[in-house]
């Protein structure tokens, strides 16, 4: 269909009035409007304060633009691909237009497929399910568990944490050159660390992989919300990311890239939508002809709202201009790192060093503080939301904290009471919707807590530090 109701046409096509396209001074630039920017929360010390959401690396708030687009479409919601009614046809058109929008956002190759999933984790599990027989997988121990764990029965080589980008490339080259037997291989690498925020040398790693006959999947969960991602420029074979980190928290994700392995494998899920034709056989069984398009791995009724929200976020970020978004984020990063550097008790975690390019994700530990206790005090006494724990990247965090990378731990659960040392860290993360006031308040709070201690008493409850009542 090509004719939309006015509300949906507006949601699809409108460029918001506050869109910024020309370069601006990052110190003066306004954050993109997000939901929750005016939410107030109570403090244990009395009163309320505007909530400072500084846990973007886990889930970013929805862009106001995304919320408005979804609200405009919602009355026209219908089934996708198999309905004859007007709303079904409209929803199908919107769904497939969203696929095209994502492909454009990622600068995909003409023959690439965009498959909609539930999340980055789901995307990488889908790719793991379609690996050809005998495929070897290479992954650095520094990856998020979504990249470390889904490879099932494949032969997996875990590579030690590099300390420079050049060392990462050299480590991968040696591992690929030494592999036996020489057959299909896949390298899984992050674009930006969910622990340190550091950017990885994706283009160089892809070149090394291809030189040794391997393919590359890019985990862009932490990269895509902060930097433009070009499949063609980086020369990766697939890219995976999540809507909930891209300011579209409606439960959808993306796997985009080469179609051949996807077409040759059995569907990730068997069911309606993935099947093109099903017929009974004389022996009582069924014959199935599966789709060769992205639908092959999208069985069941798709998350149309989630998919459309991702497309809306892609448009909004493109329209705002990544040059401006990156410049403003660097301004915020400098504020946070500069403020933390003034506190001797704070140690920022890093693989590649202070000068490494990074996104707005910073993890640190504070001498004399259990990380859960510190995070609880930031929330209860200052209205600041951060994350503490091992960030679903246990080997990396434990390596950075000087423990054995094989040691086990429960994600986010501290291993010691307040005031005792534990192998956990604190993570502050921010992005396009973060105002300066939030990072300024965070820096002041860290400095005050270290200098004066907490104003409230805390206790351990179900493995977490919480304010004592």
DSSP state of 240: E
What's the CA gap between 161 and 399, in Å, rounded? 8
Region of residue 25 (phi > 0: left; psi between -120 and 50: alpha; otherwise: beta):
beta
Q: What is the 3-state secondary structure (H, E, C) of 273-319?
A: CCEEEEEECCCCCEEEEECCCHHHHCCCCCCHHHHHHHHHHHHHHHH
439 token code pair: 């990072």
Strands 361-366 and 346-348: antiparallel
Active site residue 108: no
Q: 388 vs 123, 378, 464, CA distance in Å?
A: 26, 11, 10
Cα 34 to chain centroid distance, Å, stands at: 17
User: What are the counts of helices (DSSP H) followed by strands (DSSP E) for the chain?
Assistant: 14, 19
Strands 458-461 and 464-467: antiparallel
Q: What are phi and psi of 41, to 5 degrees?
A: -130, 150
Cα 125 to chain centroid distance, Å, stands at: 15
Cα 408 to chain centroid distance, Å, stands at: 23
Closest by CA position to 387, among listed 39, 61, 53: 53
From 108, 135, 188, 392, active-site residue = 392
What's the CA gap between 142 and 220, in Å, rounded? 14
What's the CA gap between 194 and 143, in Å, rounded? 8
What's the CA gap between 407 and 381, in Å, rounded? 33
Q: Which helix (H) or strand (E) holds 66?
A: helix 64-73
Closest by CA position to 189, among listed 181, 180, 198, 178: 198
CA dihedral 331, 412, 460, 469 (to 10 degrees): 50
Angle in degrees, 0-180, between the axes of helices 436-452 and 371-382, rounded to the nearest 10: 120
- Point out the residues that are catalytic: 392
């Amino acid at each position: 269909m090509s004719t939309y109701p006015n509300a949906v046409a507006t949601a699809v096509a409108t460029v918001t009035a506050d869109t910024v396209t020309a370069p601006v001074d990052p110190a003066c630039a306004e954050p993109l409007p997000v939901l929750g920017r005016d939410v107030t929360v109570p403090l244990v010390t009395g009163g309320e304060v505007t909530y400072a959401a500084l846990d973007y690396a886990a889930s970013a708030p929805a862009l106001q633009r995304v919320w408005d687009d979804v609200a405009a479409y919602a009355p026209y919601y219908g089934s996708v691909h198999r309905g004859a009614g007007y709303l079904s046809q409209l929803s199908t058109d919107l769904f497939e237009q969203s696929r095209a929008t994502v492909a454009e956002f990622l600068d995909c190759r003409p023959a690439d497929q965009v498959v909609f999933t539930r999340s980055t984790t789901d995307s990488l599990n889908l790719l793991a399910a379609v690996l050809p027989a005998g495929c070897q997988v290479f992954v650095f121990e520094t990856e998020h568990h979504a990249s470390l764990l889904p490879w099932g029965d494949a032969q997996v080589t875990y590579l030690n944490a590099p300390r420079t980008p050049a060392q990462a490339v050299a480590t991968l080259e040696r591992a690929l050159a030494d592999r036996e037997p020489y057959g299909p291989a896949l390298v899984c690498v992050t674009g930006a660390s969910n622990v340190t925020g550091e950017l990885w040398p994706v283009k160089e790693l892809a070149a090394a992989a291809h030189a040794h006959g391997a393919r590359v999947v890019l985990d862009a969960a932490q990269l895509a919300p902060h930097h433009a991602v070009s499949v063609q420029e980086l020369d990766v074979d697939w890219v995976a990311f999540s809507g909930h980190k891209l300011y579209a928290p409606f439960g959808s994700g993306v796997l985009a890239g080469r179609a051949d392995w996807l077409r040759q494998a059995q569907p990730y899920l068997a069911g309606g939508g993935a099947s093109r034709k099903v017929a009974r056989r004389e022996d009582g069984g069924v014959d199935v002809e599966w789709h060769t398009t992205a639908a092959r791995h999208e069985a069941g009724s798709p998350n149309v709202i989630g998919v459309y929200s991702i497309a809306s976020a892609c448009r909004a970020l493109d329209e705002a201009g990544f040059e401006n978004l990156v410049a403003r984020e660097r301004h915020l990063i400098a504020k946070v790192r500069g403020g933390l550097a003034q506190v001797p008790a704070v140690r920022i975690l890093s693989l590649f060093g202070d000068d490494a390019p990074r996104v707005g994700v910073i993890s640190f530990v504070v001498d004399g503080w259990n990380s859960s206790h510190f995070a609880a005090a930031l929330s209860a006494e200052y209205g600041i939301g951060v994350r503490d724990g091992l960030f679903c990247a246990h080997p990396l965090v434990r390596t950075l904290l000087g423990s054995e990378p094989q040691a086990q731990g429960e994600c986010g659960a501290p291993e010691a009471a307040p005031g005792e040392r534990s192998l956990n860290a604190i993570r502050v993360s921010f992005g396009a919707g973060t105002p300066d006031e939030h990072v300024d308040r965070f820096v002041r709070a860290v400095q005050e807590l270290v200098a004066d201690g907490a104003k409230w008493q805390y206790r351990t409850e179900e493995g977490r530090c919480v304010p004592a009542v």
